[in-house]
Amino acid sequence: MGRVHPEAMDDVRTLLTARLAEIDAQMTTMAAPPAEQSSISFGKRVGDGTQMAVDRLAQVGVHEKLRITRADLVRALAKLDEGTYGVCDVCGKPIPAGRLEVHPWAVLCVTDAGRGQRS
């Protein structure tokens, strides 16, 4: 079961569940239609409409990162239930404690995460 002490599992579950709720709230807010839906015009000069479009494009990138983190949170919670929390989904080696401390939802070791691996 990786390097996480069994008595710490409840704390990890609480932290993961809270973070999942935060991400769900953020994603719900981002999915809501813009409050300002007045006539937006896009001309040659940067105006309110152009700034709104740029902001919305930036939100798309943030939303994608949140979606990936959410998937990892769900997987980490499942790994807690399976008894495999702290073990890399790709290579099966323990995920270093320092990585789990920084990203408790990590489901990949540093090496496989660096390769862009997904289970």
Average pLDDT over every residue of 5-32: 89
Whether residue 99 contacts residue 7, with contact meaning beta carbons closer than 8 Å, is answered with no
Amino acid at 16: L
pTM above 0.85, yes or no: no
Q: Would you give the DSSP letter of residue 84?
A: -
The per-residue pLDDT for range 29-41, each reduced to its tens digit, is: 877 776 665 555 5
> Which residues 6+ apart lie within 8 Å of 9 measured at CB?
80, 85
- Angle among Cα 6, 15, 67 to the nearest 5 degrees reads 120
Distance between CA atoms of 17 and 11, rounded to whole angstroms? 10
The per-residue pLDDT for range 50-60, each reduced to its tens digit, is: 666 666 666 76
Distance between CA atoms of 6 and 60, rounded to whole angstroms? 38
Using the predicted structure, report yes or no on whether residue 61 has a pLDDT greater than 50: yes
User: Quick one: how far is CA 94 from the chain centroid?
Assistant: 21
Q: How confident is the model at residue 7 (pLDDT cuts 50, 70, 90)?
A: confident
Q: What structural domains and CATH numbers belong to the chain?
A: 6-31+47-114 (1.20.120.910)
The per-residue pLDDT for range 72-85, each reduced to its tens digit, is: 999 999 999 999 99
- 116 or 37: whose pLDDT is higher? 116
Average predicted confidence (pLDDT) for the chain: 82
pLDDT for the residue 33: 74
Distance between CA atoms of 42 and 32, rounded to whole angstroms? 22
